[in-house]
Amino acid sequence: MCISEISEFMKPVMFTRGVPPRESLPVDALADCAHQVILATGVDVLQYAPVAGYQPLREILAHQCGIPAERVLLGQGSLQILDILLHCLLRPGDEVAVEQPTYDRVLTLMRRAGLQIMPVPLQQDGLDIEKFEEELKNGRKIRLFYTIPDFQNPSGRVMTLGERRRLVALSQTYHFTIVEDAPYRALRYSGEEVTSIFDLSPQTIIQLSSFSKLISPGLRVGYALLPQDLIENVSEYAADTYINPSYVNHAIIYRFIINGYMQDHIAFLQAMYAGRLQAMLTALQRQLSGKCIWTQPQGGFFVGLWVDPALKEHVLSLNAEDYGLKLSDGRGFFVTGGEDFIRLPFCALQTDEIQVGIQRLSAMLTR
């Protein structure tokens, strides 16, 4: 049986979809929450409203973060808030820095906004913050550093407390803004939480987060914690873009929290995803030990894998679908390079799919 015959009946393993699985969505609870909030507060949440979002949810988030509610901007997903921030804080031609690899959609937004992007290498053993500092010392003017410190997309890596502290110190010395994107932070399946960058300097850091990975991506509820001096400008830009976000969706999230579903739901997700992560790490160890290196995440959605540099041309020339796999092109997560990088999302796959997928990946890389 040749490869093309195999591919005809093999259902491909989707290592492309960094999404929550269908079975994670709390459908019944959300149906009830939606019904309750619209009945109880319909004349408010169905109307035009202030741009910063549904006040009761702002207050819950503010309380959790120890800041005033006016510093919380609720939007329609956090990506769009980032787009607004890039336009409010920067001008075309300005230079920003990102971990490399980083979230591909953020690179797209930055390029679209006409920004120069400096990649700071992020390897399995950590962020190359020395290189970054050296460039700053040499006078390179960086206006903003975008980071996903917890269970990074696409690498799965957690920034150490030391790296976080050093980054904050650099931001103060060289006057750049840090945007901390934290959508995976609550999804830790083992190990100890690391202090957020926001908590290291809550007056200056912008934190973005979202309920997309914790409750539902379809509700499109993301938010920003903003420094006091940015609130007016960013809110006005948002109002000019979409008047106000959907309060209905904010209120559904609010009701989900108030009804007491949140804690149990996160525990349920953690238990489900922990098993899938373990299956991924075990399969990698069995199949690819010595041929690739990969991160050892304790949470989130992704394992990042670097193939042996000798194989990188080999990866690009292969058609993953012939091996029953769908893979994202690693180069999408890189400003330059990425031919040797593979992102492996595990949350939306059953453990047996993960095992089969990694077997196929091994077959592909070692044929």
Residues that bind a copy of itself (CB under 8 A): 19-20, 22, 25, 27-28, 30-32, 34-35, 38-39, 42-43, 45-49, 76-77, 79-80, 83, 105, 108-109, 112, 212, 216-220, 240-249, 252
**CB 55 → a copy of itself: shortest distance, Å?**
14
Select 71 or 250, whichever has its Cβ closest to a copy of itself. 250
**CB 111 → a copy of itself: shortest distance, Å?**
10
| Residue 17 CA to its chain's centroid (Å) | 13
Select 6 or 34, whichever has its Cβ closest to a copy of itself. 34
Select 196 or 246, whichever has its Cβ closest to a copy of itself. 246
**CB 183 → a copy of itself: shortest distance, Å?**
12
Residue 244 · residue 221 · CB < 8 Å: no
**CB 222 → a copy of itself: shortest distance, Å?**
9
**CB 335 → a copy of itself: shortest distance, Å?**
17
Classify residue 260 as left (phi > 0), alpha (psi -120 to 50) or beta.
left
CA distance 107 to 334: 8
Select 273 or 306, whichever has its Cβ closest to a copy of itself. 273
Select 1 or 43, whichever has its Cβ closest to a copy of itself. 43
**CB 113 → a copy of itself: shortest distance, Å?**
11
The dihedral sign for the CA sequence 158, 160, 165, 171: negative
**Residue whose pair of structure tokens reads 């670097």 in the numeric block:** 306
Select 31 or 169, whichever has its Cβ closest to a copy of itself. 31
Select 2 or 39, whichever has its Cβ closest to a copy of itself. 39
Phi/psi of residue 333, each to 5°?
-95, 5
Select 67 or 335, whichever has its Cβ closest to a copy of itself. 335
**CB 312 → a copy of itself: shortest distance, Å?**
28
Partner residues linked to 52 by β-bridges: none
**CB 91 → a copy of itself: shortest distance, Å?**
12
